[in-house]
């Protein structure tokens, strides 16, 4: 059990964090190469697969018919040991078939200096926006255990087809990958909507090492509007 002093130090060392996503920008899966050779390409084909071509793995194909959820897909990629995959702005339970922006994924560099490939959500196809706050940020190697997230505010403005009950949702994802709804609200079409607690002085605190994912979804359509955005803000300690 943590000592009172350790908990106080953790709280004092905490810092504010905000993460915002826009149309087609949620990073559902982030990949970093852990192989020994080079990466030729990583390509997503809608409703079909993700194909990674590397010098050490050859052609690795992950069919969505086999790996029907994001969690199953990430677990399969990690098991192969050529890439490390983490789930960010999405849920492990989300379906893969209509999830991702199609085409070749652009190589970029993480804050840690790793070569990474971000698998993005096609927001008009998957019909949701989601943003994640993690104890270890968007990083691979920073340890999550012993840290927590305190959500202070969530905000969005999304051009959707139909506002509905239980369509603006806050999830907690534990270190073992269990995802649970902790807050369920009526969604609002287009109008910028802000939710906080106790006039901004309240918060929702997570379990040790857990992440929070704020998700707004629609049952019919989400327009690719340039003004769409969704964000989650809080303290990571």
- Verify that 116 and 224 share a domain, yes or no: no
Would the pLDDT of 8 be above 80? no
- Verify that 20 and 66 share a domain, yes or no: no
Range of the domain at 73: 27-120
Would the pLDDT of 1 be above 50? no
Would the pLDDT of 7 be above 90? no
Q: What is the pLDDT of residues 110-150, one digit of tens each?
A: 988 999 999 999 999 999 999 999 999 999 988 888 999 99
**pLDDT of 142:** 80
- For the entire predicted model, the pTM comes to 0.92
Cα–Cα distances (Å) from 31 to 21, 155, 161, 187, in that order, read 18, 27, 32, 31
- Token digits of residue 67: 């790996």
Task: Give the DSSP per-residue string, 77-129.
Answer: HHHHTSEEEEE-SS-TTSBSTTTB--EEPPEEE-TTS-EEEEEEB-HHHHTEE
Give the pLDDT mean for 156-162. Answer: 97
End-to-end Cα separation, the chain, in angstroms:
17
- Verify that 131 and 237 share a domain, yes or no: yes
CATH number of the domain that residue 134 is part of: 2.60.120
Do the beta carbons of residue 233 and residue 196 sit within 8 Å?
A: no
Q: What is the pLDDT of residues 169-181, one digit of tens each?
A: 999 999 999 999 9
Pick from 180, 161, 159, 170: which is nearest to 214 by CA?
Answer: 170
């Amino acid at each position: 059990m943590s000592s009172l002093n350790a908990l106080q130090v953790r709280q004092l060392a905490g810092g504010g964090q905000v993460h915002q996503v826009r149309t087609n920008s949620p990073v559902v899966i982030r990949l970093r190469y852990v192989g020994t050779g080079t990466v030729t390409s990583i390509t997503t084909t809608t409703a079909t697969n993700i194909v990674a071509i590397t010098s050490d793995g050859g052609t690795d194909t992950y069919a969505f018919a086999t790996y029907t959820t994001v969690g199953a897909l990430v677990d399969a990629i990690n098991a192969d040991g050529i890439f490390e995959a983490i789930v960010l702005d999405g849920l492990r339970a989300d379906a893969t078939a209509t999830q991702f922006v199609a085409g070749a994924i652009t190589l970029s560099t993480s804050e840690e200096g790793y070569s990474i490939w971000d698998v993005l959500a096609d927001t008009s196809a998957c019909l949701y926006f989601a943003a994640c706050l993690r104890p270890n940020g968007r990083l691979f190697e920073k340890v999550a255990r012993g840290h927590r997230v305190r959500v202070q505010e969530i905000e969005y403005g999304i051009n959707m087809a139909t506002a509905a009950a239980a369509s603006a949702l806050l999830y907690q994802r534990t270190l073992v990958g269990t995802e649970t709804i902790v807050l369920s609200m009526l969604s609002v079409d287009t109008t910028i909507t802000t939710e906080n607690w106790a006039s901004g002085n309240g918060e929702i605190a997570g379990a040790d090492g857990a992440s929070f994912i704020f998700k707004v979804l629609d049952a019919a359509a989400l327009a690719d509007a340039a003004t769409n955005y969704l964000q989650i803000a809080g303290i990571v300690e």
